[in-house]
């Protein structure tokens, strides 16, 4: 019964995405693609860049054939559900509503993102969740100024953390009129810390799986499909992929402990390992995610197409497509994209220039079905 129920949930998720692609074609923006998901991941724009973002959504994305926009907000939203997270300098409900409307007009699925578990700091800057609620920190009092670590994590077993986090997620999902929500979950290095009174001594795989299931249950309860990065599900030692694009801290077995209707964003930037098949074989819908290397992006696209054309129909159905990442601010990416698209400048050797060039090369190839 459990296996049958999981298969039905996955099939419904995939069917919804396929129907979405068909609707896009009928809207006249592009023909039905051979890969149903053609996505872009960006950070949320600043208020001053709202008009430019709306123009980008209405004009550039349809020309590129993009039908999915993952917009990473984290805590950069003028939240009202939790006053301690209010930020009048960030986009609020009305501005995000404009982004949602523009996406709807062009048949683009807008998927908001808040990083969960890891990525609660960057360099010396700690993210707002742990600034406002330091009691949620997995390692409170340790690593002053975040020295000696990559990013902080919140404690997944703290009894109050999800009450706060879910309020923010619900508000953002409502503002975006979202049918899917991305929870991050990549590059989690601090987990089951020996000094955490709740997590010490516990299995990292079980802790990670528990957090995935907690997030999944809530996101499903608000009518959304959960998306997440897939690196913590890959065994970095067994595959040789390493500790960044895969895990070497014991979380990989969690892949067999979580629901199978989660869309996995399988990111690899320096090479194109055949990990989309790993996830599809496990029963997950999966998208391949490049960054700034066009050769890698085209290899990933070719492999997704190979899976979709293969004899294994279940795997073919789960190989959903591509999501280009940017990893720079929205405005720098847009400026690089526009300069390249108009011929005003060649790609620069930095994240905006190379990710924009990769994006254009990827979707040019994707349009050449």
What CATH number did the domain enclosing 30 receive?
3.20.20.80
pLDDT at 13: 52
Give residue 152's pLDDT band: very low, low, confident or very high (50, 70, 90). very high
Tell me the pTM. Answer: 0.92
pLDDT of 80 over the 80 cut? yes
Kindly state the percentage of the chain with pLDDT values over 70: 91
> How long a stretch of residues is the chain?
369
Q: Give residue-wise pLDDT tens across range 181-213.
A: 999 999 999 999 999 999 999 999 999 999 999
Give residue 304's pLDDT band: very low, low, confident or very high (50, 70, 90). very high
Per-residue pLDDT, averaged over 259-265, amounts to 98
Neighbours of 133 (CB within 10 A): 18
Q: Give residue-wise pLDDT tens across range 36-66.
A: 999 999 999 999 999 999 999 999 999 999 9
pLDDT at 6: 42
* 282 three-class SS: helix
DSSP string across 181-249? EEEE--S----S-TT-TTTTTS-HHHHHHHHHHHHHHHHHHTT-EEEEE-GGGSBHHHHS--SSSSBSS
Per-residue pLDDT, averaged over 346-361, amounts to 96
pLDDT at 158: 98
* Domain total in the chain: 1
DSSP string across 31-51? PPPSSSEEEEEEEPPPGGGHH
Angle at 133 between CA 128 and CA 137, to 5 degrees: 90
> Which structural domain, as residue segments, surrounds residue 19?
2-367
Rounded CA-CA distance 70/90 in Å is: 18
DSSP string across 286-311? EEEE--S-HHHHHHHHHHHHHHHTSS
pLDDT at 14: 53
CA max distance for the chain: 59
Lowest-confidence pick of 26-40, 222-236, 320-334: 26-40
Rounded CA-CA distance 8/250 in Å is: 30
| Burial profile 269-294: b = 16 or more Cβ within 10 angstroms, e = fewer | beebbebbbbbbeebbbbbbbbbbbb
Per-residue pLDDT, averaged over 104-121, amounts to 98
Q: Give residue-wise pLDDT tens across range 328-343.
A: 999 999 999 999 999 9
pLDDT of 26 over the 90 cut? no
pLDDT at 364: 97
pLDDT of 170 over the 90 cut? yes
Give residue 32's pLDDT band: very low, low, confident or very high (50, 70, 90). very low
Rounded CA-CA distance 268/234 in Å is: 12
pLDDT of 306 over the 60 cut? yes
């Amino acid at each position: 019964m459990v296996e049958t129920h999981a298969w039905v949930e996955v099939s419904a998720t995939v069917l919804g995405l396929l129907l979405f692609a068909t609707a896009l074609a009928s809207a006249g923006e592009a023909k039905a693609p051979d890969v149903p998901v053609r996505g872009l991941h960006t950070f949320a724009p600043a208020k001053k860049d709202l008009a430019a973002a709306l123009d980008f959504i209405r004009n550039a994305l349809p020309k590129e054939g993009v039908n999915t926009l993952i917009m990473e907000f984290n805590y950069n939203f003028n939240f009202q559900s939790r006053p301690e997270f209010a930020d009048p300098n960030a986009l609020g409900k009305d501005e995000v509503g404009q982004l949602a409307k523009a996406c709807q007009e062009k048949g683009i699925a807008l998927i908001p993102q808040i990083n969960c578990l890891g990525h609660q700091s960057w360099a010396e800057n700690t993210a707002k969740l742990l600034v406002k609620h330091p009691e949620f920190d997995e390692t409170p009092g340790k690593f002053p100024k975040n020295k000696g670590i990559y990013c902080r994590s919140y404690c997944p077993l703290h009894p109050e953390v999800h009450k706060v986090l879910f309020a923010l997620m619900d508000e953002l999902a409502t503002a975006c009129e979202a049918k899917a929500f991305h929870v991050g979950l990549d590059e989690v290095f601090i987990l089951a810390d020996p000094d955490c009174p709740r997590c010490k001594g516990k299995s990292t795989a079980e802790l990670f799986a528990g957090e995935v299931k907690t997030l999944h249950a809530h996101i499903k309860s608000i009518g959304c499909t959960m998306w997440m990065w897939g690196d913590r599900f890959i065994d970095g030692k067994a595959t040789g992929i390493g500790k960044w694009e895969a895990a070497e801290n014991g979380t990989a077995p969690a892949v067999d402990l979580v629901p199978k209707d989660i869309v996995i964003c399988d990111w690899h930037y320096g090479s194109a390992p055949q990990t989309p098949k790993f996830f599809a074989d496990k029963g997950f819908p999966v998208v391949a995610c490049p960054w700034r290397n066009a050769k890698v992006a085209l290899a990933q696209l070719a492999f997704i197409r190979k899976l979709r054309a293969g004899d294994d129909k279940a795997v073919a159905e789960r190989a959903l497509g591509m999501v280009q990442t940017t990893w720079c601010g929205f405005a720098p990416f847009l400026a690089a994209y526009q300069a390249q698209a108009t011929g005003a400048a060649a790609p620069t050797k930095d994240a905006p220039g190379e990710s924009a060039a990769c994006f254009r090369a990827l979707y040019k190839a994707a349009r050449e079905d």
